[in-house]
Amino acid sequence: MRGRTPRWRCVFAVVCALLAAAGIAISLTWGRVFDSVVARQVALVPGSRSFREWEAPSVPLFMDVYLFNWTNSENFPQEKPHLVQLGPYRFKEHRQHVNVTWHVNNGSMAYRTLRSWHFQPSSNGSLDDNVTMLNIIAASAIYRARDWGFLEQKMLSMSLAMFGQHMVVSKPARELLFEGYEDALLDVAKTLPASATGGAPPVDRFGLFYERNNSITTDGYMEVSTGVDSGTLPGQVLRWNYEDYLPYYTGECAKNRYDSRFLREMFLYATLRRSSIKGWNGKTRTYLLKGSAGEFLPRDLTERSAVTVFVPDLCRSIQLTHKLSGELGGLPYHRYSVAPESFDNSTSSHHNTCFCNGDCSWGGVMNVSACRYGSPSFISLPHFLHADPALAAAVSGLQPDEDKHSFYFSVEPNLGVPLEVAARFQLNVLIEPNPNIALYEKVPKMLFPIFWVEQSVQTEASIIEELVYARTILEWGATVCACTALLLLVLVALATCCVPRHKYARPADGAIISEKPKDEAEIKLNNL
C-alpha cells in the first residue's frame, strides 16, 4: 500500500523509544543508581572484595615512633627539661581482622584486630639507642597516691627510695618500646589490691608498647555495621568491648553518640536519596557509638562536612573538619584535620567537660587517664601543636609544625574513600608537686612529653586509577545516558517520519498499456 511504513521500521522505532525512555529515567536518577551499586560493592558481606580488603589490608601500613631524649635531667627542677627528638623508629604494620562473627538480625559484625610490627632498616636510629626519659612507673604510682592520706603517701615515698626509683630511666629504645624492662615496683604492684593499681593487670615488664605485638587485645572487641541495610554505612561502630557506651566517662561523654542535629541531617540526606535511615524516631537501630573505625567514611562529603572517627587508644571519638582541598594522582580530595575543639579543655567547648576526669588545666590536650588504669596520661598533637602555649614553654626543644604534626584524613569526597592518612598523637605524663613524697616534693606541675607516633597510610597508584575510573562514571554517567537517549529519539524520528514515497515511472516506448474496455456508446461518440 502506498506510504505505509514497513513492519521492521515500526519494531525498530518501538525498541528505540523504549531504550530512550530507559536512558532518560536512568540519567535523571543516576545519583541514586550509582549509590546503590557502590553500596552493594562496599558492604561488608562474606566473599565480597570490600570484605577481603578489610579483613587483610594490602595497603602498606607504617608506624613511626619519635622518642624524646631528656638531656639535662640531672639539673631538674632547677632547669627546665631540654628534649631532643630521636627517630623515627619505623615499623611496618601487618593488620588482620580475626574472630569475625556475623549478626544477620541487626546488620552488624563483630571482630578483633591482630596487629604485628616489624622494625625497618630505613629507620633514623637503632633500637640499641640509649634514651633517657621520665620514669613513668614512679610517676604513675605517685599520681595514684595523690588522694591518699599522709601516712600512706609517706610509706610510698620510703618505698620509692628503698627500691631505687629515680626521676628518670635510661634504657635502650627496644626495651622502652616493645620488649619492656623489669622494675621492682612491678613486683610490688602484684601484691596490691586493684584499688591501689587502678585495676591494671599484673605484668612482669614495662614498655610503651609492651605485649601489643601479635596481640588481639590492643583495639578490643569491636562491633560495626555491615552496610547491608538500606540507609546504613559499613564500618560504623555499634559497640566497643561489649558496651554501647564509654564506661570511663559520665554524662553525654559516656554516650558518645550522634546528637539530634546530626540525625536530622542524616534523615534529610536519606529522604533526598529516597532511602531509609536506621535509628530515626526510634523505629529502627541507630549507630550507638559515634564514628567509624576509620576504614569506611561517609560519601558525598563537602567542605562543611565533619568526619568522625572512633579511636580505641583514646577510648573515644574525635572529630575532623575540613582543612583544605587538593588532588592526588588526578583524583580530587578533601583533607579533614582534627578539630581544635576535640582537644579543648572545655573553655570554649562545654560539651568536652565530662571528658576531663577532674583535671583540665590546659587546652589542647585530652585526659585519657580513666582508660589507662588511672595513670597520668594526656594526649595531644605532637610538639603540643594547637595546645596551650604554657605546655611548650615548660620545656625546650619542641618545634610545632602544622605540616609535620597535624592529624588528618585526605578523602575522595564523592566515594568517601581515604586516600592518605596521617594519624599523629603525643603521649604526655602529668607530674605535680607532692610535699609528702620526696621524689616529687619540688617538681613543677607540668605535662612531660614522652613520645609521639605517626601511623601513615597512602593508597596505591593502582587503586587510585580505579577510583578515577569510578569517579568518571559517576560524573559522566548521567550525561552519557541522556545523550544516548537523545540519539535513540532521533532514530525513532527517522524511522517513523522519513518514509520514502513510491513514484510511478513513465512507460517505455512499445510498452503495452492496458486500458479499461470502452462501451458501444463511447465508441460511436468518438467516431463522430
Residue 247 domain flag: yes
| Residues 250, 318: Cα–Cα separation, whole Å | 17
Structural domain harbouring 250: 59-459
Residue 489 in domain: no
Map 67-117 to HEC letters: EEEECCHHHCCCCCCEEEEEEEEEEEEEEEEEEEEEEHHHCEEEEEEEEEE
Least confident of 91-95, 194-198, 315-319, 445-449: 194-198
**Percentage of the chain lying above the pLDDT 90 cut:** 40
Confidence of residue 348 (pLDDT cuts 50, 70, 90): low
Q: Around 405, how many Cα atoms within 13 Å sit in the side-chain half-sphere? A: 17
Q: Using CA atoms, how far apart are residues 382 and 516, in angstroms rounded to an integer?
A: 110
Predicted TM-score (pTM) above 0.85: no
State how far the Cα of 425 lies from the Cα of 385, in Å rounded to an integer: 10
Residue 472 lies in a domain: no
Encode pLDDT of 74-96 as tens digits. Answer: 999 999 999 999 999 999 999 99
Strand partners, 113: 97
Establish if 423 belongs to a structural domain: yes
Residue 289: CA count within 13 A, CB half-sphere: 28
Buried b (16+ CB within 10 A) or exposed e, 310-349: bbbbbbbbbebbbbeeeebeebebbbbbbbbebbbbeeeb
pLDDT at 30: 63
Summarize pLDDT for 373-405 with one digit per residue, the tens.
Answer: 888 999 999 999 988 899 999 999 999 999 999
Exposure string (b/e) for 394-406, b if CB count within 10 Å is 16 or more?
bbebbebeeeebb
Residue type for 30, please? W
Phi, psi angles (nearest 5°) of residue 252: -65, -25
CA distance 104 to 98: 18
Which cell is 24 given? 532518560
CB within 8 Å of 373: residues ≥ 6 apart: 197, 198, 199, 200
Residue 272 backbone dihedrals phi, psi, to 5 degrees: -65, -30
Cα distance between residue 448 and residue 391, in whole Å: 9
Nearest 5°: phi and psi at 228? Answer: -75, -40
- 10 Å Cβ neighbour count for 233? 22
Q: Which helix (DSSP H) or strand (DSSP E) does residue 173 occupy?
A: helix 173-174
Looking at per-residue pLDDT, the higher value among 490 and 212 belongs to: 212
pLDDT at 147: 86
Q: How many structural domains are present in the chain? A: 1
Q: What is the pLDDT of residue 264?
A: 46
| pLDDT of residue 174 exceeding 80 | yes
Domain membership flag for residue 128:
yes
Q: At a CB cut-off of 8 Å and minimum separation 6, what does 294 contact?
A: 235, 309, 310, 311, 418, 421
Residue 222 covered by a domain? yes
- Report pLDDT for 283: 37
429 located within any domain:
yes
Encode pLDDT of 17-73 as tens digits: 777 777 777 777 666 766 777 777 788 888 888 888 899 888 889 999 999 999 999
Mean residue pLDDT of the chain comes to 81
CA-to-CA dists, residue 286 to 82, 127, 231, 278, angstroms: 49, 46, 11, 5
CA distance 497 to 421: 60
pLDDT, tens only, 314-334: 888 888 999 999 988 888 899
In a domain, 397, yes or no: yes
